[in-house]
Amino acid sequence: MTNLFAKRREELLALKALRDRQSHPSLGVSQAAPCPACGQPADQRELAKALYVCPNCGYHHPVGAYYRLRTILDPSSFRELDEDIGGLDPLHFPGYGEKAQAAEGKTGLKDAAVTCTGRIHGIRVAVGVLDSRFLMGSMGTAVGEKITRLIEHANKDKLPLILFSASGGARMQEGIVSLMQMAKTSAAMEQFSRNGGLSISVLTHPTTGGVTASFASLGDITLAEPGALIGFAGPRVIEQTIGQSLPEGFQRSEFQQEHGFVDAVVPRGALRDTLVQLLQLHRRGGKLA
């Protein structure tokens, strides 16, 4: 019985992950689309095998939340949390409902976050993933609520917490209430950390604004995918402020590592192994051999 359910769950995740790839603008099913970074056409099968990292230049294509989870979780271990949570509309902002509905139709997501429990190399974990295809991964009430519930779940069950960020910042359409999600998620991180919980923050392209200035910057360990844009203010706002253009590589993962805000820049293909290593290194107790 249990095995049958596990198999169904796995099939569902596989289907959702497949849909992720197909609906991503840069991950069309048409073969030989040119890489947005180097322009080199890539064979789709080869690209899929490389976890959507360009074999020619190493460009990391954005990937959807379910696909991401498939790449790091043990098979059959995925259990989604709070699937039904969607966004609120505290401003009754004109056109917001339609926009969110269109995003849902395109991605199959209720909002920009997927949260779950699962296992990595047999170790139980709580994982949250932001999906930049849904209104740029912006954090409104749905993302804030789901991430907070996930952190509280990890706190209660004493699970390591892994958060993948990809976000344009606060969800403008939800106004001040979306700003408050920064306080809500940060307070949950504070409580989790005070109780000894391990959190690993993985920053992917792009992580900016209110997500950078809240839970994404509060991990015990911070990892980043190569070449991801990571910052508080967006490059255009900075350029407008200082009246000049920014140097190549500014605010990218490698820059953030150099400036002390990222422990390690980890290519997608090595990410699961790095997570396994970190989870194992955080096992408590034991004795000298």
Which does residue 117 touch among Zn ion, other proteins, none (CB within 5 to 8 A, set by kind)?
none
- From the CB of 146, what's the least distance to other proteins, in Å? 8
Structure tokens at 117: 């429990």
User: Where on the chain is the footprint of Zn ion (CB under 5 A)?
Assistant: 35, 37-38, 54, 56-57, 59
Nearer to other proteins, 52 or 192 (CB): 192
At 276, list the tokens. Answer: 């396994």
Q: Confirm or reject binding of residue 199 to other proteins (CB under 8 A).
A: no
128 binds, among Zn ion, other proteins, none (CB under 5 to 8 A by kind): none
Question: Does 180 help bind other proteins (rule: CB under 8 A)?
Answer: yes
Tokens representing residue 216 in the block: 């994404």
Residue identified by tokens 């073969």 is: 31
234: β partners: none
Candidates 141, 142, 204; CA nearest to 177 is 141
**Torsion-angle region of 200 (φ positive above 0: left; ψ -120 to 50: alpha; else: beta):** beta
Q: Which of 31, 40, 101, 191 binds other proteins (CB under 8 A)?
A: 191
Write out the E strands in the chain. 79-81, 113-120, 123-130, 161-167, 199-207, 221-224, 264-265
- What tokens were used for 46? 């080869």
- Residue 190 binds other proteins, judged by CB under 8 A: yes
Rule CB under 8 A: which of 260-279 touch other proteins?
A: 260-261
Nearest-angstrom CA–CA distance, 130 and 166: 5
User: For residues 242 and 288, which CB has a smaller minimum distance to other proteins in the complex?
Assistant: 242
Choosing among other proteins, Zn ion, none, which partner's interface includes residue 37 (Cβ < 5 to 8 Å by kind)?
Zn ion
Q: 87 or 160: whose CB is closer to other proteins?
A: 87
CB of 164 to other proteins, least distance (A): 16
What span, in angstroms and rounded, lies between the C-alpha atoms of 177 and 70? 32
Number of residues lying near other proteins (CB under 8 A): 61
CB of 186 to other proteins, least distance (A): 4
Contact (CB, 8 A) for 133 and 167: no
The Cα 32–Cα 188 span in angstroms is: 44
| Tokens (6 digits) for 58 | 């190493």
- Under the criterion CB under 8 A, does residue 212 sit at the interface with other proteins? yes
Q: What angle do CA 185, 186, 192 make, to 5 degrees?
A: 90
**Which residue's CB is nearer to Zn ion, number 23 or number 26?**
26
Q: Which does 69 bind (CB under 5 to 8 A by kind): other proteins, Zn ion, none?
A: none
137 versus 231: smaller Cβ distance to other proteins: 231
Distance CA 50, CA 134 (A): 24
Q: What is the CA radius of gyration of the chain?
A: 19
196 contact choice in other proteins, Zn ion, none (CB below 5 to 8 Å, kind-dependent): none
Supply angle C-alpha 207, 108, 97, rounded to 5: 80
Binding string, 53-82, against other proteins, x = CB under 8 A?
-----------------------------x
Tell me which residues touch other proteins (CB under 8 A). Answer: 82, 85, 88-91, 93-94, 140-142, 144-145, 148, 170, 172-184, 186-191, 193-194, 208-210, 212-218, 230-233, 237-238, 241-242, 246, 250-251, 255, 259-261
